């Protein structure tokens, strides 16, 4: 199975700061998908097919990457962005998730 490694595990950002989360795959995948999960709630689709924003996601978010290296970027951190973000690959069975990056507000 494809292992996804996210970094950092935890980070804190100040309002207005640019944030980049990374996800590396143990083998090449065609696309990466990202989910946001706030405490006590279910994950929400955030970015799909590497760079497409899910409905309602603010355009300060963006996604990029190819092959084994992908990233999620927040152009300017806002309070509501504090959450855990998971990457997921669906190119190869079984679908796998990264362990998540917990993003906190500084």
Partner 1 sequence: QVQLQQSGAELVKPGSSVKISCKASGYTFTSYDMHWIKQQPGNGLEWIGWIYPGNGNTKYNQKFNGKATLTADKSSSTAYMQLSSLTSEDSAVYFCARLVHGRGGSGYFDYWGQGVMVTVSS
Q: What is the 3 state secondary structure string of the chain? A: CCCEEEECCEEEECCCCCEEEEEEECCCCCCCEEEEECCCCCCEEEEECCCEECCCCCCCEEEEEECCEEEEEECCCCHHHCEEEEEEECCCCCCEECCCEEEEEC
90 contributes a contact to partner 1 by CB under 8 A: yes
Q: In the complex, what is the shortest distance from the CB of residue 103 to partner 1, in angstroms, rounded to a whole number?
A: 15
Candidate list 14, 16, 42, 56; residue touching partner 1; CB under 8 A: 42
29 contributes a contact to partner 1 by CB under 8 A: yes
36 contributes a contact to partner 1 by CB under 8 A: no
101 contributes a contact to partner 1 by CB under 8 A: no
Q: Which residues bind partner 1 (CB under 8 A)?
A: 29-31, 33, 35, 41-45, 48-49, 54, 86, 88-91, 93-100
């Amino acid at each position: 199975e494809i292992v996804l490694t996210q970094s950092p595990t935890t980070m804190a950002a100040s309002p207005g700061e640019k944030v980049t989360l990374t996800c590396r795959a143990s083998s090449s995948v065609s696309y990466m998908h990202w989910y946001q999960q706030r405490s006590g709630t279910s994950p929400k689709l955030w970015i799909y097919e590497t760079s497409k924003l899910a409905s309602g996601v603010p355009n300060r978010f963006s996604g990029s990457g190819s092959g084994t290296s992908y990233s999620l970027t927040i152009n300017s951190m806002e309070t509501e962005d504090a959450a855990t973000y998971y990457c997921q690959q669906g190119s190869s069975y079984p679908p796998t998730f990264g362990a998540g990056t917990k993003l906190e507000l500084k």
